[in-house]
Chains A and B, each alone.
Chain A
Amino acid sequence: MFEPSAVAVVGASKVEGKIGYEAMANAALFDGPVYPVNPSASGELFGSEFVSSVTDIDDDVDLALCCVPGPAVPDVLEECGEAGVGAVVLYSSGFAEAGDEGEELQETIVEIADEHGISLLGPNTSGFLVPARNLRCSFASGVEEIPAGNTAILAQSGGVAHTLAYQSRRQGRGISAMVGLGNRANVGFAETIEYFDGDENTDAIVLHVEGTDDGRGLLEACRASDTPVIAYKVGQSDVGDFAESHTGALTGDHELYTAGFAQYGTPTVDATDDLMDAAAALGDCPTPDGPNVGVVTAQAGPGIIITDRIQRAGGRLPKLSESTQERVDEILPGVTYADNPVDTGRPMPEFGEIVTAVAEDDRIDIVLVYELFEEALGLPVEDLDGLAERVGKPVLFATEGIEETLAEEREALEAAGVPTFATPERAADAAGTLARYAQLQAGQPATDGGTGTTPTVGDAAEPEVTADE
Chain B
Amino acid sequence: MSEETPAPIAAAREDGRHTLTEAEGKELLASAGIDTPSFAVCADADAAVDAAEDIGYPVVVKVSSPAVTHKSDWAGGIGVAVGLDSADAVRDAADEILTTADERGIDADVLVEEAMDLDRGTEVIVGGIRDPSFGPVVLTGLGGVFTEIFEDTSHRIAPIDRAEARSAIEELQSLPLLEGYRGSEPADVDALADAIATVGDLVTEHPIAELDVNPVLATTDGVIALDALVVLEDH
Name A residues whose Cβ lies closer than 8 Å to a Cβ of B: 211-216, 219, 239, 242-243, 245-248, 250-251, 253, 255-256, 259-260, 263-264, 443, 445, 451-453
Please name all residues of chain B whose beta carbon is closer than 8 Å to the beta carbon of A259 when the two chains form the complex: 154-157, 168
A245 contacts B157, C-beta separation under 8 Å: no
Partner of A256, one of B151, B155, B168: B155
Of listed A211, A248, A250, A445, residue having the most chain B CB within 10 A: A250
Q: Please name all residues of chain A whose beta carbon is closer than 8 Å to the beta carbon of B151 when the two chains form the complex.
A: 239, 242, 250
**Are A245 and B214 in contact (CB-based, < 8 A)?**
yes
What is the minimal beta-carbon distance from B185 to any residue of chain A, in angstroms?
Answer: 22
Cβ 8 A contact of A216, one of B133, B160, B168, B173: B133
Residue among B134, B139, B143, B160 having the largest count of chain A Cβ atoms under 10 Å = B134
Q: Is B19 an interface residue (CB 8 A)?
A: no
Q: Give complex CA distance A255, B137 in Å.
A: 11
Task: Tell me, yes or no, whether B131 is within 8 Å of chain A by CB.
Answer: yes
Contact A248 B210 (CB under 8 A): yes
Q: Residue B122 at the A interface, CB < 8 A?
A: no
B33 CB within 8 Å of chain A: no
Q: In residues 120-151 of chain B, which contact A (Cβ within 8 Å)?
A: 125, 127-129, 131-135, 137, 139, 141, 143, 147-149, 151
Contact A246–B133 (Cβ < 8 Å)? no
**Main secondary structure on chain B at its contact with chain A?**
strand
Partner among A250, A253, A263 whose Cβ is within 8 Å of the Cβ of B153: A250
Contacts of A219 in B (CB 8 A): 134, 157
Do residues B157 and A213 form an inter-chain contact, with CB atoms below 8 A?
no
* Closest Cβ–Cβ distance, residue A383 to chain B (whole Å): 40
Count B-side interface residues using an 8 Å CB cutoff. 35
Decide yes or no: A251 and B133 within 8 Å by CB, A245-B147, A263-B156 being known contacts.
Answer: no
Tell me, in angstroms, the Cα distance from A181 to B154 when the chains sit together: 30
B147 A256 Cβ-Cβ under 8 A? no
A253–B155 Cα gap in the complex (Å)?
11
Q: How many A-B residue pairs have CB under 8 A?
A: 84
B133 touches A215 (CB 8 A): yes
CA A215 to CA B171, docked complex, whole Å: 22
Query: Which chain B residues lie closer than 8 Å to A264 at the CB level?
Result: 157
Q: How far is the CB of B141 from chain A (nearest CB, A)?
A: 7
Q: A445 and B171: CB pair below 8 A? A: yes
* Contact assessment for B129 and A248 in the assembled complex, using a CB-CB cutoff below 8 Å: yes
B34 to chain A, nearest CB (A): 16
A256 touches B167 (CB 8 A): no
Do A263 and B164 touch across chains, with their CB atoms under 8 A apart? yes
The reply to whether A216 and B134 form a contact with Cβ atoms under 8 Å apart is yes
Verify A445–B167 contact, CB threshold 8 A.
Answer: yes
CB-CB < 8 A to B147: which residues of A?
Answer: 242, 245, 250
**Does B212 belong to the interface (CB within 8 Å)?**
yes
Chain A residues with Cβ below 8 Å from B51 are none
- B49, CB-defined interface residue at 8 Å: no
How far apart are the CA atoms of A445 and B167 in the complex, in Å? Answer: 6
* Residues A251 and B157 in contact in the complex (CB < 8 Å), given A242-B148, A451-B173: no
Q: Which residues of chain A are near B141, meaning CB under 8 Å? A: 250
Whether A216 lies near B155 (C-beta < 8 A) is no
Q: How far is the CB of A314 from chain B (nearest CB, A)?
A: 14
Asked if B170 lies at the interface with its beta carbon under 8 angstroms from chain A, I say: yes
Q: Which of B163-197 contact A (CB under 8 A)?
A: 163-164, 167-168, 170-171, 173
